Amino acid sequence: MNWALLSRMLGLLAMLVGGSMAFSLPWAFPICGQTAEFETAGFRGMVASIVCSLAVGGALSFFGRKETGTILRKEALAVVGLGWILAGILGALPFLFSGTMRSPGVRMTVVDAVFESVSGFSTTGASVLTQLEDLSNQADGSVTDGKLVPRCVLFWRSFTHWLGGMGIIVLFVAILGQLGAGGKALMRREVPGPITETLRPRVRETAISMWAIYMVISLVLTVVLMIEGMNLYDSLCHTFGTMATGGFSTYNASVGHFQSPLIEMTIMLFMVFAGTNFSLYYLVLRSKDPGGGLLKRFAPLYRDPEYRTYLAILAVATVVLTISLVKNGIYPNIATALRHASFIAVAITTTTGFGTEDFTDWSEFSKGLLLLLMFVGGCAGSTGGGMKVIRFLLFFKIVRLEIEHAFRPNVVRPLRVANVPVDNSLRHDVMVYFSLILMIFISSWMILAAIEPDTQWRQEGHTNAEKLLDCASAVASSLNNIGPGLGVLGPHDNYSEFSVQGKLLLTLLMLLGRLELFAILVLFVPSFWRVQ
């Protein structure tokens, strides 16, 4: 392991995180609609966090200042794995230094702050904050608690989504794309064209182009939401959560706070955009035949088997949920059921986690379907989490070939996607990934159920069986970067009552899911750190 090079890279990352905190500072000023006294603590906390992050980054960069070596496979894995852990720790500083309250009278602990920060960067959207908006000015005057989170800190919380969404893609394209056959396969899904390990300038050029697409779509969504009635602050924060498929909102009721079908439809549409492989947008923009008409220009989209499967999953899930909601009398008519079913189906499948309704009140079948959708995720090369649609597509093709091989052992058929043969190494990678996800899910589920006290569920009138399901949804939600879960973790609830050990486990699962397991798992292998 090249420790000096690793230190320099981590130092640059720490300074990047610290510098990005500056975008939150303007929202602390009284002109934003908050009292100067309330936001002063938030402003000071953000400044202290910036200084601390830059100091840490400077110290790490100084240690590795003379190292000019090349980032190899081990260093790339270490930079990404440790870099995300470091970003999560530094991103927690604004919550701690500003004195942010988890609930009335209860300050956030270190574990709470790291949980919230990692949830933001990993675009999970799970939260321990119980009160986001100021409830002191309700019409009936029944609520007297004021806002517990400074406005600038709440902005930083959402901004971590936006940084983590496309940032992970860039890291995989620019660094992790060199990790053998599996890394090359992932890079091909994220970066179009015959790009190899030696064509780094082209890789960087493509990554910059994808960031530009990400920023333009984000700008368009921000403007549209403002036209539809949101203020600049809310439109930016909800844009960050939408485009990063994160789900952090500025209101306890999430998108449901606005009670606007138009806003819901807009956010739903852009969630679908965010869950799409950004490489396809890149291909559409690079079309060499502008005179071929819209159908030919958008051919990369509708010809892509993963994209077609992705849309089919969303459509089928929406129809099935709508039928279930109407059949069980959850909503009085098909239009209302379709409105909420489509939004929740898209939010869960793309791993965004925004909510309009509390789906914990839906039928058991509907909740079971949502639990299954948590594992799907968006397309490869998107900002969505989950296992990715392409893996499920390949998995079922592999299973079909194996079944055929059972009664036709002499027939050899290559694995194909869009009539293109797939390398056997990718076949192996898919099966290993499914096996690891299953193993991690089951073991984490059992561990969480064991360490969480039964009294938490009994106090709220739930049974042990409900606790088991809630723990399963917590693990699935964290591992697949969803955010909300079932039962006590519904879209209007949070993770604040989980134990310290439980929060640490779920934080680790968020990192595992967002970095696709291996960049974190290798950190626990002793031989990985040996100097060779």
- Phi, psi at residue 66, to the nearest 5°? -95, 0
55: domain range? 3-209
Structure tokens, 181: 């056959």
pTM of the model: 0.88
pLDDT at residue 116, rounded to an integer: 94
Distance CA 84, CA 78 (A): 10
Whether 96 is in a domain gets the answer: yes
pLDDT at residue 133, rounded to an integer: 76
Cα distances from 302 to residues 160, 185, 307, 348, 421, in angstroms, run 32, 21, 7, 23, 20
Residue with tokens 């819901």: 264
Structure tokens, 70: 């090349």
pLDDT at residue 136, rounded to an integer: 47
Residues constituting the chain: 532
Distance CA 184, CA 207 (A): 15
Whether 158 is in a domain gets the answer: yes
89 contacts 73 by C-beta, under 8 angstroms: no
Whether 136 is in a domain gets the answer: yes
119 contacts 485 by C-beta, under 8 angstroms: no
Distance CA 307, CA 165 (A): 19
Domain count, the chain: 1
Whether 59 is in a domain gets the answer: yes
Distance CA 407, CA 485 (A): 42
241 contacts 161 by C-beta, under 8 angstroms: yes
- Each residue's pLDDT, cut to its tens digit, for the chain (532 residues) gives 777 878 888 888 898 899 999 999 988 876 544 455 667 888 899 999 999 999 999 999 888 777 666 667 777 778 888 888 999 999 999 999 988 888 888 889 999 999 999 999 998 988 898 888 765 444 444 433 456 888 899 999 999 999 888 765 455 444 444 434 333 333 443 333 323 333 344 555 666 777 788 889 999 999 999 999 999 999 999 999 999 998 898 888 889 889 999 999 999 999 999 999 888 888 887 766 555 566 677 777 888 888 999 999 999 999 999 999 999 888 888 999 999 999 999 999 998 988 888 887 888 898 889 989 988 988 888 888 888 898 898 888 888 888 887 888 877 777 777 777 777 778 888 889 899 999 999 999 999 999 988 766 666 666 666 788 888 889 999 999 888 887 777 777 788 888 899 999 999 999 998 888 888 888 898 888 876 5
Whether 110 is in a domain gets the answer: yes
Whether 139 is in a domain gets the answer: yes
Whether 399 is in a domain gets the answer: no
Cβ-based neighbour number of residue 366 at 10 Å:
23
pLDDT at residue 321, rounded to an integer: 93
Q: Are strands 106-107 and 416-417 parallel, antiparallel or unpaired?
A: unpaired
Cα distances from 420 to residues 41, 394, 414, in angstroms, run 58, 12, 9
Angle between helices 180-190 and 278-285 (to 10 degrees): 50
Whether 503 is in a domain gets the answer: no
- Phi, psi at residue 380, to the nearest 5°? -60, 140
